[in-house]
């Protein structure tokens, strides 16, 4: 009774290998190209498709003949062996089994080969051509076929987009496992805003560390960095308004923590026009890179 | 604690300054370029390792010095001071760094080969991955065919959708979508904690 299902699966698999325009390209991402070399992979890929097509057609048509399920068994063992080879020697490749999607090799691939194997073995014991059997006991056999088809689809990553992903999305929609907005403003938001400010770009050449410390106070988030000013260590402390639409500007101070004195304090980056001539002509640094 | 409070008050006051103060003219120049861009960083030849950067698995920590084994076999000694910034999922303090953590450090090489660290990042990872499923405060990711479990840490994890400013709401991440995750690896596992997740929404 497995014959029609296996036949359809093989025909579908063959059509992907034989008739998709990208078949040749596809073959090179599968483990075949590692096994046989890139030149021969395409030929082997198509050849395999041809064998699958012939076997699929043979299974769908009479007469009942034992070499047909035997060939399915051989193929199933071959697939499992190929999966094992690929997993060991080309773990990054796609199994190239039955569709054009990239599918990593996993237990599902093996289960599917096992399914094929079981179908082949059962096929050996068949004593009636499937169409005859189906007309004899339509309800029971149709139910068995549907059950097996469901199992096959469940084992095939190629179909995940049709049922597994929507199911998972539905579960997420119903249970909301990640919770919602907890009203806090992530540090990342403040730091990104700071990085985009002219003031930060102006001061950045003096900064030596990543974010050292941060705390919130009075609608401001304070972020400190280790800095160097005139050859000695200093702390750069930025005050960034928490609300992004706040009218207050971002401010910065460079503080020498040992003496407690404020070395410099700014609430905006100086415009280029404000940069004195002596600062521009000093050294080879172009004004643009330091003034930002 | 009191010291830390005083320090913060000092820094807070310095940053906000007196009303109307625009620049620190009391100390001479109001243009900090001269002092800020004091010495240009010497360039590094292409392909050469950055001499001021260290990376490795932490083997031991004694007082203020980390010993780490680099992925190329180099043994690093990294000195951490109170001025060193430490990152482990978020800006934190040195006592949260543990043996077994992966360490990245940047600083200045001293004469004895020790690196005096300006910044230390522990277990930082940056993954481009595929979301295969979403569970209770965690995402199941496929990263180069490897399963990675990424935990959402409420209050720390930030989400950036389509490049807009980060928010704390991670729930717009969809199953079967691509994301980039900046986070901290949990040593010895295939799990990470998410610092920032970048996604399309």
**Could you report the per-residue pLDDT of A238-285, keeping only the tens digit for each?**
999 998 777 888 999 999 888 888 888 888 877 664 554 544 444 444
Distance CA A12, CA A152 (A): 13
> Over pLDDT 90: what percentage of chain B?
61
B94 neighbourhood in chain A, CB within 8 Å: none
**Among A233, A253, A279, beta carbon nearest to B15:** A253
pLDDT band at B173 (very low <50, low <70, confident <90, very high): very high
**Picking from A86-100, A206-220, B15-29, which range would have the lowest pLDDT averaged per residue?**
B15-29
B38 neighbourhood in chain A, CB within 8 Å: 228, 230-231
**Among B40, B138, B145, beta carbon nearest to A285:** B40
**For range A130-153, the mean pLDDT:** 78
Q: What is the residue-averaged pLDDT of chain B?
A: 85
Contact B35 A165 (CB under 8 A): no
Distance CA A270, CA A287 (A): 12
- What pLDDT is stored for residue B42 in this prediction? 63
In this structure, the strands spanning B85-88 and B115-122 are parallel
Distance CA A179, CA B152 (A): 10
Distance CA A268, CA B152 (A): 36
- What pLDDT is stored for residue B99 in this prediction? 95
Q: Kindly identify which residue of chain A lies nearest to residue B138, measuring between CA atoms.
A: A178
- What pLDDT is stored for residue A292 in this prediction? 36
- What pLDDT is stored for residue A102 in this prediction? 60
- What pLDDT is stored for residue A20 in this prediction? 67
Contact A253 B11 (CB under 8 A): yes
Q: Is A252 on the interface with B (CB under 8 A)?
A: yes
Q: Is B166 on the interface with A (CB under 8 A)?
A: yes
pLDDT band at A97 (very low <50, low <70, confident <90, very high): low
**Cross-strand partners of B104:** B55, B121
Q: Is A61 on the interface with B (CB under 8 A)?
A: no
Interface pTM (ipTM) of the complex?
Answer: 0.84
Distance CA B115, CA B113 (A): 6
**Among B11, B23, B136, beta carbon nearest to A235:** B11
Query: Order of strands across the sheet with A261-266?
Result: A213-217, A220-229, A232-241, A251-256, A261-266
Q: Would you tell me which residues 45-64 of chain B have a C-beta closer than 8 angstroms to some C-beta of chain A? A: none
A279 neighbourhood in chain B, CB within 8 Å: 29, 31, 33-34
Secondary structure (DSSP) of B27-55:
GS-S-THHHHT-SPPPP--TTSPPTTEEE
Residue A267: name the closest of A244, A248, A250 by CA.
A250
Q: In this structure, what token pair is assigned to residue A53? A: 């097509």
* Spatial contact of B68 and B103, defined as CB atoms under 8 Å apart: yes
Residue B129: name the closest of B169, B165, B171, B175 by CA.
B175
Q: Is B9 on the interface with A (CB under 8 A)?
A: no
A244 neighbourhood in chain B, CB within 8 Å: 165
**For range A198-220, the mean pLDDT:** 90
pLDDT band at B24 (very low <50, low <70, confident <90, very high): very low
* Spatial contact of A253 and B11, defined as CB atoms under 8 Å apart: yes
Contact A186 B137 (CB under 8 A): no
Which structural domains are found in chain B, ordered by start?
7-42+50-122 (2.40.50.320), 125-199 (2.40.50.140)
Q: In this structure, what token pair is assigned to residue B4? A: 């830390």
Contact B12 A237 (CB under 8 A): yes
**For range A173-201, the mean pLDDT:** 87
The greatest distance separating any two alpha carbons of chain A, rounded to the nearest whole angstrom, comes to: 101
Alpha carbon of A182: minimum distance to chain B alpha carbons (Å): 6
- What pLDDT is stored for residue B146 in this prediction? 84
**For range A86-112, the mean pLDDT:** 66
How many A-B residue pairs are in contact by the CB < 8 A criterion?
Answer: 196
Is the torsion defined by CA of B20, B26, B29, B31 positive or negative? negative
Q: Is B1 on the interface with A (CB under 8 A)?
A: no
Distance CA B185, CA B201 (A): 25
**For range B110-132, the mean pLDDT:** 93
- What pLDDT is stored for residue A229 in this prediction? 84
């Amino acid at each position: 009774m497995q014959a029609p299902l296996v036949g359809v699966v093989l025909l579908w698999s063959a059509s992907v290998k034989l008739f998709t325009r990208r078949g040749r390209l596809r073959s090179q991402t599968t483990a075949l190209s590692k096994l046989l070399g890139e030149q021969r992979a395409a030929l082997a890929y198509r050849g395999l498709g041809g064998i699958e097509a012939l076997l699929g057609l043979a299974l769908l048509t009479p007469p009942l003949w034992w070499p047909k399920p035997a060939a399915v068994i051989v193929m199933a063992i071959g697939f499992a062996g190929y999966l094992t080879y690929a997993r060991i020697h080309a773990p990054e490749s796609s199994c190239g089994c039955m569709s054009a999607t990239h599918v990593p090799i996993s237990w599902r691939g093996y289960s599917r080969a096992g399914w094929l194997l079981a179908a082949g073995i059962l096929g050996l014991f068949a004593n009636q051509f499937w169409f005859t059997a189906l007309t004899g006991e339509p309800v029971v056999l149709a139910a068995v076929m549907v059950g097996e088809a469901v199992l096959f689809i469940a084992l095939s990553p190629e179909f995940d987009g049709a049922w597994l992903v929507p199911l998972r999305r539905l579960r997420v929609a119903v249970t909301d496992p990640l919770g919602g907005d907890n009203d806090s403003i992530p540090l990342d938001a403040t730091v990104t805003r700071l990085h985009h400010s002219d003031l930060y770009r102006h001061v950045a050449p003096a900064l030596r560390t990543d974010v050292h410390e941060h705390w919130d106070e009075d609608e401001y988030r304070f972020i400190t960095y280790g800095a160097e000013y005139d050859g000695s260590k200093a702390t750069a402390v930025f005050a960034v308004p928490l609300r992004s639409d706040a009218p207050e500007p971002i401010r910065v101070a460079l503080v020498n923590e040992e003496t407690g004195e404020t070395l410099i304090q700014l609430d905006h980056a100086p415009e280029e026009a404000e940069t004195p001539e002596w600062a521009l002509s000093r050294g080879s640094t172009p004004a643009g890179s330091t003034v930002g | 604690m009191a010291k830390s409070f005083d320090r913060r008050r000092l820094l807070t006051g310095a940053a906000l300054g007196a009303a109307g103060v625009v620049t620190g003219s009391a100390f001479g120049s109001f243009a900090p370029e001269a002092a800020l861009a004091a010495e240009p960083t010497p360039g590094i030849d292409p392909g050469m390792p950055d001499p001021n950067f260290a990376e490795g698995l932490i083997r031991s920590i004694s007082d203020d010095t980390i010993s780490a084994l680099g992925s190329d076999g180099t043994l690093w000694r990294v000195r951490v001071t109170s001025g060193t910034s430490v990152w482990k999922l978020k800006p934190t303090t040195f006592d949260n760094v543990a043996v077994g953590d992966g360490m990245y450090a940047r600083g200045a090489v001293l004469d004895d080969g020790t690196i005096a660290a300006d910044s230390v990042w522990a277990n930082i990872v940056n993954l481009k991955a595929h979301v295969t499923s979403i569970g209770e405060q965690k995402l199941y990711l496929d990263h180069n065919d490897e399963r990675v479990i990424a935990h959402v840490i409420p209050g720390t994890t930030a989400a950036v959708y389509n490049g807009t400013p980060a928010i704390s709401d991670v729930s717009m991440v969809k199953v079967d979508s691509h994301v980039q995750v900046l986070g901290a690896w949990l040593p010895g596992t295939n799990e990470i904690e998410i610092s920032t997740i970048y996604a399309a929404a």
